[in-house]
Every structure is written in C-alpha cells, then in structure tokens.
Amino acid sequence: MENWKTVYQSRLVTADEAVTHIPNNSRVLIGHAANQPPALVEAMCRNYRQYENVELVHWVTLFGSEYCAPEMQGHLRFNGLFISGSNRKAVAQNLADFTPTYFGQCPRYFRDGTLPIDAVLISVTPPDEHGFCSLGVSVGGTLPATQVAKVVIAQVNRNLPRTYGDSHIHVSKIDYLVEADTPLPTMESGPVGEVEAAIGRNCASLIEDGSTLQLGIGSIPDAVLKSLTDKKDLGIHSEMIADGVIDLYEKGIINGAKKTIHKGKIVVAFLMGSQRLYDFVHNNPDVEVLPVDHVNDPWVIGQNRKMVSINSCLQVDFNGQVNSESMGIQQFSGVGGQLDYIRGSFLSPGGKAILAMPSTAKKGTLSRIVPVFEAGTTVTTPRTDTHYIVTEYGIANLRGKSLRERAKLLIGIAHPKFHEELWAAYKERYGEDENFLSHS
C-alpha cells in the first residue's frame, strides 16, 4: 500500500476546490451535529451557483443553515432527517424538506438505496501514526454514510476530540482533505428550575441501582442526573450524553459495572455539549462512539438489564399518544431514537420507558396534557408503547391501563389550573366523574 503520508499530502486541497467535486443532481450528507465541517459547508454555500439540484441531508445542526436561503433554490436544497432551530422556518415555508425516519434506520437506507448518498462532507481529526482519522463526536449515521458515498470530503480539524469505538476512517478512504482548525460548536447546560428539578426527582425515583440509562440533552436530563447522586453502579447506553454524566462518572456512580453488554463502557452514537464534554471524551477508552444502527437497535438496547430510557416530549393526549416533534402540522424537531429506546426498554428485563415534560407550555397558558391532539399533530410514540409519563406533579404508569384509567391518571399529573377543563372533557367522553374508582 502506498505510504499514507504521501496519500494524505496528495489529497490536500483548498475548501473551494474540494466542493467543486460535489456532482450536480446528487444527494450530499453533512456530518451530524458537532461533526459538521463548517469550512466545507461555507465554501459550498459561497459557490452555490455552480450546483444544480443538489440535496443536502443531515440530522441536528448546531450551525446556521445558509443553504436554506431563498436564493439557493434550484442549486442547494436541505432535506432534514431532523429539524433544528436554524432551518425550522425554512421547512415551514417550503424552502426545505423533512423526511421522517428513525435515526437508527438511516444506515440501512444509505446501504440499500432507499436514501443513496453520493457525497459526504465530514470533520475528522488529524491522522494517527497509522493513517487513521477519528470522526470524533459523531459516528452515528455519519460513518455508515462514508462507507457508501462515491465522494468523501473531509475537513481536518485539530479541535475535534479523538474518540474510541468504531470511530475511525483511514486517509486512503477520503478523496479530498481540507485542513481548517475551526472551533467546535458548544451547548452549555441551561438552568434547572423548580419544575425541572421536580421532574428530575420523579424520574429518579423510578431508577434502581444497577440500571443502564438512555437520556438526552437539556434541562430535564440534567435535572434527572442531578437527582441520581444516591444511586450505585449505573451504566450508559444512549444515543448521546450530556455534561451531567461526567459528574456521576467522576463520583463512581456511573461505572457500567452491571451492564450486560459493553460492560464498563459509556456507549453513544454522537456527542454534543460543552467543551468540558469534548475534553472528557478525548482519548477516553471508557467512552465508545458507535454506529447508530447498533446503538439504537431495540434488540441491542434490550440486552441490558434494567434499561431505563428517559426522553422529553411536547404533548400527551388522554389515550396516551405522545407527540415529541410537531406543533400541529408544523415540524419542530424529528423522530430521533425515542421509540427505539422505548421498545428496547420493553425488551429489557426490568426495563422502564419514561417520557417527561413540564405540565404546561407557553408560560403556563397551555396544558401539555390534552383530551385530543390538534389536527395534523404527529404521534411520535403510539399509545400501545407508552409506559411512564412524568411531569412535575407526578408519575402516570399507563402500561396495561384502559383508556378511562389512562385519562384519569394523566389528569392527575396535569397542572391543577387545568383540572376542571380536563375533567369536563373526561366526563363528556366517558360520562363519569372524578370519583370513578379505577384499579390504578
């Protein structure tokens, strides 16, 4: 094999030259979340007039979405597999598209031609002594896309952490390399208020010693983690992790000792968070970043005993249907891995699936627990899969409950100021008062 250093030097180009190799009438995948290569994306947008009918696909972005600007039409068009703040408006205005899919399904779609990928734009670390670069913070669907794409273009960024797991690509597999040390986008933890703290305590009460956890990022996962300081031998098998995991790891509470698979390891598909999180995972053999079709596979998830999934949601109706991604017909985020982890937790001996939310929205003016959804609202988790719903007012276990029992349990954890109207809706539907005896 040709010396990798020679290969590396021969494939070094400028960002503007690299993006000329994106073919017209093609689908291009951009690295997920903090793996997005800003030098390449900026060059592509700067030279947008050279393209015809190029579709850009990615999940979460922590950057801007300049490719959604009106003048990009006919040249570049975004097709989101998950919607973020910078492109939400463009999707609503039909300047961009959304394709619903589970995150864990995407690698299969790339391979079997359902969503063929022509080119990828990724970020990588500088190569090690063997010529291997690390994708760092995002293996998920990013690595599988590089394995099927016709053209692989990489920004080599010394600010990217090098991670363990299945996170490496050899320089010989990269067609064009652009050296640019841009800062990684960071997401600092928000404040945990009284509502979030109460939700965190309620969720923590369901978590036993020796459990393996899946949780995301945001004030509710942070609140849950802050409430776990009295637990022992917790593990992590999660689509992603937040900074609070570091605190519990350093205290020895998260050690993976009771995990059934990947024992002792923190397993994730991607990472986004603070610089502290990026520093924590850098060259840390206790953290394994793996492809999402493994990490989010319900059968794999369910192999961990006492698997507990904790996800946020937007609304729950009386039937126990859960909306985690839309405001009526307007797409707000995406499917992600929520249902995969709910189903994986069901397969796990002693597993629990928790969906958590504040009881109200819009500064307390709307109840998140509703009799029925607005027309067009997405059902992310079907009522047959829903297990625990948690608000600051308590816990509703919907598994095995009738529709009447579900409605009563959910009203019980709704904000008190909405109880009267929720009971009125209950009586209209079922003709019974709040004193109806249930077996819950």
Tens of pLDDT, residue by residue over 293-309, are 999 999 999 999 999 99
**Residue bearing tokens 């060259």:** 283
- In tens, the pLDDT along 29-52 reads 999 999 999 999 999 999 999 999
Same domain for 409 and 326, yes or no, is yes
Contact present, 269 and 139 (Cβ < 8 Å): yes
Q: pLDDT digits over 204-252, tens only?
A: 999 999 999 999 878 899 999 999 999 999 999 999 998 889 999 999 9
> 406 Cβ partners below 8 Å, 6+ apart?
318, 319, 320, 383, 396, 398
Residue 25 inside a domain? The answer is yes
* pLDDT at residue 52 in the model: 98
235 and 314 in a single domain? The answer is: yes
In a domain, 36, yes or no: yes
Domain finish residue from 179, 210, 229: 179
pLDDT higher than 80, residue 440: no
Domain extent, residue 358, equals: 194-430
Same domain, 156 and 207: no
Residue 230 lies in a domain: yes
Instruction: Report the alpha-carbon distance of residue 41 to residue 32 in Å, rounded.
Output: 12
Domain at 303, CATH number: 3.40.1080.20
**Of the residues 42, 66, 196, 239, which is catalytic?**
239
Within this chain, do residues 168 and 200 fall inside the same structural domain, yes or no? no
- The answer, yes or no, to whether residue 438 has pLDDT greater than 60, is no
Q: Is 239 a catalytic residue?
A: yes
Average pLDDT, integer, range 401-423: 98
Model pLDDT for residues 276-296, shown as the tens digit of each residue: 999 999 999 999 999 999 999
244 and 171 fall within a common domain: no
In angstroms, the Cα distances linking 225 to 57, 203, 216 are 33, 10, 11
DSSP string, 215-277: E-SSHHHHHHHHT-TT--SBEEE-S---THHHHHHHTTSB--TT-SSSTT-EEESB--S-HHH
The tally of domains found in the chain comes to 2
Residues 391 and 316 grouped into a single domain: yes
186 within some domain: no
Q: Is residue 187 very low, low, confident or very high in pLDDT (cuts 50, 70, 90)?
A: confident
pLDDT on residue 358: 97
What's the pLDDT score for residue 434? Answer: 52
